[in-house]
Structure 1
Amino acid sequence: MTPPLDLSRRQFLTAATLTAGAALLAGCSPLSPTGSRTETLQFWHLLSGGDGVTMSSLLDGVNSAQSDYRIRPTVLAWGTPYYTKLAMAGAGGRAPDVAIMHATRVNGWAPGGLLDAWDVDRLAELGVDRSTFPGPIWEKGFVGDRLFSVALDAHPFVLMFNTDICDAAGVLDSDGTLRETSSPEEFVDQLREVGAQAPDHALSFGYLGDGAQMWRLFYGLYAQHGLQIELPVGGKAVIDKDAAVEALRFMQTLLDGEIAAARADYGGAVAEFATGKSGMLMTGVWELRTMQAANLPFDATTIPTLYGTPAVYADSHSFVLPHQANANDERRDLVYRFVADMLKDSFQWAEAGHIPAYLPVTSSPAYDDLVPQAHYASAADHVVYDPTAWFTGSGSSFQGEFGAAVQNVLLSGADPAAAIDRFEARVNTLLRQPNPADPEGTWKS
């Protein structure tokens, strides 16, 4: 068959050969202690570093807790390499049994038949349903009226703060949490107090050459206006220019060389905070273990609500069913059990910094004692994902397009309104292009 994505025939046949070999390996399963066959399930993910170590531990746990299935993970490089290989596998109908995708990427895949939908009734039998997830996270799994992804977590953009520096600045409440600010002016005043006590800067924020970083902060601030960018298929982007310009101007205010370095990349910002030279850091929860390893006195909270509406930019690592031409019902049912087992045993994932999507975990007494994770857990109720379109999401080029349009605003004080115009024009060009997974636009939910 012809692959639905823009792949060469050689790439497609190579992917099909590799995944066929994986399927053959999956059939070589040992017997369980009861005499029944232990099925080996193929699981692909893109988690490396500390997250990869934690995922390996979680998989060891579910493998040892039962004898009906064994998970064989395959770890591929984050971003485009991962999604390209997974797409080829799905296009060939010989994909792994289950995989991790960012929730923001699913909308571009489901229309082309690269993913199979989850049976919500079977999930419910295993204790996984709408009532066990924060509303925004559960709803993100749907494309049309079918569930295509089941979130393991939310990993939001948060504010970490050095408790020693902030205490010296007098910006902590009596319980040690950061004093609440509710307007841009209040937050800037707080940052200036912190800056008076910090060796280098009040705030660390790295953005140079990193469209994702610029987008995470911008879109969280934009959404705090009670707005979301809309990207209608075949239409034009709906962007509130006043709110967009305000968000960029506020980002300019932060990057004045005193509150935060005017020019900093991601690694430099993380290092500045980790070495105690700044009072605060805007970053993702995935840096939690970096700071713990640095033996830094720190806590974390959500980005302050500065424009009236609580909103926190985030994405979710989610379980998906890559399309299989002839899915085996018994193996597929074991996949459902595996996902339910992972969700119910996701406390370790919380220890790594992510917010588990499964509410029985985050509502447990043990989670309340998990600091600083419990201090930003409320973000799960206010997550804002990328605007829905086939070209958006983590690891896509969309966030890079945003960075290319606005970096000079932050770097050299260029006009924010002109930058938003450039970004909007580029997005409108993308909206006129068909989804490579569904070039004829024939898919119906």
Structure 2
Amino acid sequence: MTPTPMSSPLSRRLFLGSLAAVGATTALAACGGSSTPPGAGVPSGAFGQGDTYTGPKVALSFWNGFTGGDGPFMRQLVEQFNKANPTVTVSMNTLQWGDYYAKVPNAVASGAGPDIGIMHIDQLATNAARRVIIPLDEVASGLKLTESDFAPVVWKAGVYQDKRYGIPLDIHPLGFYANTGQLSKAGIDKLPTDRAGFEAAVKALQAGGGVKQPFWVTATWPAHLMFTALVAQFGGSIYDAEGGKATFNSDAGVESLEWLRSFITNGASPANVSNDAQAQAFRQQRNSLTWDGIWMMNEWAKVNGLKWGAAALPTIGDKPATWASSHNFVVTTQATKDKNKLAASRAFISYVSERSIEWAKSGQIPARNSVRESAAFSALPVQSTLAAQLPNVVFPPAVPGIGDVTTPTFEAAVNEVILGKAQAKAALDAAAKKADALLADNRAKYQA
């Protein structure tokens, strides 16, 4: 398979691994405790109608975290928009995701930040509660966008307190990758789709494929993402539907974590596999099977001689499910000072959204149905294959601060169990207690 090269996966890892620090930093800039509802003060009708901008010349500051190989794809779309819209100048600024989420609130408050930006799905409620971003219901209605135009899971996830804060651009799920050359040597001609098939493939690879440790389970990234997917597959969830209580210490959570640990116990994975080591091993053909983000397809494509295939995550539990995130367009409170910026923002969002097949080539699944249903998208083998998982995507609840809870709680518990330092039930129970306290603190902080 030969997908188009994209960014290093490091940017995604830095983003997800830095959320706890970001939450502590940006909380200082929050307007938490205000009785003013998020989005208040946005003039009615300010965004206008239609997908074009007809006002006077205006400049838009556009910030995002596309610092890797995905950046040129977005920059090209920005340049195309500017050329097609001579009265609008969009200036794109990129930062590492961790820096981005730390800097945006203060920059917006001072008037030196972005007018329009990109945010991950689990950051929308937090930044809405902090009055950093504004509702986009009028953007959606002005562009005649409804749930029927998008994958329902990502459209619904952009709503906080009955208002829409994100216009979804893409979805990026976990995928299942396999060294097809090693599978063939072991007598397997198809990627396994269920628990029995997956476990049989591991044994066959050890026996006939000549791979002593075919499935490396990491102690850090992406183990907590795998855990999230598995919990849903076994019928559980990370949090309750309201995001007020941790539920990852359920029977589903324990079974998920014990299943991951079992590959170390039975010798199919080394112990103490560090961050990204499993991906490096896959490049070097020292392992055969790995679960990682869709963006990794481009990393494998760079390796000469590596024969590989991609598929949806195998269904280890009772039903299919996968972890995923999503990039969403947002408009900041800074832009509300100029109605022309709001109208131009609507036109820019529409332009990129309609042309998100170009963004898909960077290693993403477009959120818009019309793009995913196109022949051009069908011609992208990995993206179109992993898009079949969209009905089974797991997103966190839309509550402020939810992204700050992961690292010190269930991610830490997964790490302890994978390293053999704790039993699954005890580690998850302790982490759930800590998560409940953090969730309560967030409710008080954001008055949510």
**TM-score category, normalised to shorter length:** 0.7 to 0.9
User: SS in structure 1 opposite 2:276?
Assistant: helix
Change (3 A) 1:282 1:236: closer
Task: Find the counterpart in structure 2 of residue 282 from structure 1.
Answer: 291
> 1:26-175 counterparts in 2 under 5 A?
37-79=56-98, 81-92=99-110, 95-120=113-138, 122-173=139-190
1:233-285: per-residue Cα shift (whole Å, max 9, x none)? 89543445211100110010123463222221233211110122221121111
Task: Find the counterpart in structure 1 of residue 201 from structure 2.
Answer: 190
Instruction: Tell whether the 8 Å contact from 2:233 to 2:318 is kept in structure 1 after alignment.
Output: yes
Instruction: Tell whether the 8 Å contact from 2:29 to 2:105 is kept in structure 1 after alignment.
Output: no
Aligned residue identity for 1:299: G
Task: Find the counterpart in structure 1 of residue 432 from structure 2.
Answer: 424
User: SS in structure 2 opposite 1:439?
Assistant: helix
Cα deviation for residue 413 of structure 1 reads 5.9
Instruction: Tell whether the 8 Å contact from 1:252 to 1:410 is kept in structure 2 after alignment.
Output: yes
1:154-188: per-residue Cα shift (whole Å, max 9, x none)? 11111111221222223334xxxx2422xx34321
User: SS in structure 2 opposite 1:70?
Assistant: strand
Alignment partner of 1:385 is 2:389: no
Once superposed, which parts of structure 1, at least 4 consecutive aligned residues long, lie more than 6 Å away? Answer: none
Supply the distance in 2 between the matched residues of 1:215 and 1:234 (Cα, whole angstroms): 18
Task: Find the counterpart in structure 2 of residue 258 from structure 1.
Answer: 267
Q: 1:439 aligns with which of 424, 436, 445?
A: 445
Aligned residue identity for 1:317: H
Instruction: Tell whether the 8 Å contact from 1:198 to 1:277 is kept in structure 2 after alignment.
Output: no
Supply the distance in 1 between the matched residues of 2:332 and 2:313 (Cα, whole angstroms): 35
TM-score, normalized by length of structure 2?
0.82
Instruction: Tell whether the 8 Å contact from 1:285 to 1:353 is kept in structure 2 after alignment.
Output: yes
Number of residues of Structure 1 aligned to a counterpart in Structure 2: 399
User: SS in structure 1 opposite 2:218?
Assistant: coil
Give the aligned CA root-mean-square deviation in angstroms: 2.6
TM-score, normalized by length of structure 1?
0.82
Task: Find the counterpart in structure 1 of residue 416 from structure 2.
Answer: 408
User: SS in structure 1 opposite 2:97?
Assistant: coil
Aligned residue identity for 1:87: P
Larger mean CA deviation between 98-107 and 192-201 belongs to 192-201
In structure 1, runs of 5+ residues without a counterpart are: 10-34
Task: Find the counterpart in structure 1 of residue 307 from structure 2.
Answer: 297
1:299-318: per-residue Cα shift (whole Å, max 9, x none)? 21121122122211011111
Supply the distance in 2 between the matched residues of 1:205 and 1:369 (Cα, whole angstroms): 32
Task: Find the counterpart in structure 1 of residue 235 from structure 2.
Answer: 226
In structure 2, runs of 5+ residues without a counterpart are: 1-24, 31-53
Change (3 A) 1:273 1:344: same
Task: Find the counterpart in structure 2 of residue 371 from structure 1.
Answer: 381
Change (3 A) 1:38 1:263: same
Cα deviation for residue 423 of structure 1 reads 0.7
Task: Find the counterpart in structure 2 of residue 321 from structure 1.
Answer: 331
Instruction: Tell whether the 8 Å contact from 2:278 to 2:290 is kept in structure 1 after alignment.
Output: yes
Supply the distance in 1 between the matched residues of 2:236 and 2:395 (Cα, whole angstroms): 12
Cα deviation for residue 124 of structure 1 reads 4.1
Aligned residue identity for 1:383: V
Aligned residue identity for 1:315: S
